[in-house]
Amino acid sequence: MQAFNGAQKKPPSRATIPAEAKLLVSREEAAQLLSISQRGLDYLIANRRLPTRRIGGRVLVPMSELRKYARGDHPENIVA
């Protein structure tokens, strides 16, 4: 039997799924996908132009809503 050696144990790996394949993305990912700042995304969320879902303490944005928002025309400024 081998002795336990913590140096040999690998950390658990996280599954890396492309954002396009996810149902919900984080605020950071949503801002990157829309090519806007995090503050700009928060403005859209606060003004209810982009719906979100809450799971625990996390605020997540549905990919379907991001696609819908990206397809529309938005002549107004995001941040004044």
**Mean pLDDT estimate for the chain:** 84
Beta bridge partners of 61: 25
Taking only the tens place, the pLDDT of each residue in 4-14 is 565 677 777 77
Q: What is the pLDDT of residues 27-55, one digit of tens each?
A: 999 999 999 999 999 999 999 999 999 99
| pTM for the full predicted model | 0.69
d(CA 27, CA 50): 11
User: What strand order describes the sheet that includes 53-55?
Assistant: 24-26, 58-62, 53-55
Domains of the chain, start order:
22-71 (1.10.10)
Instruction: Give the three-state DSSP class for 26.
Output: strand
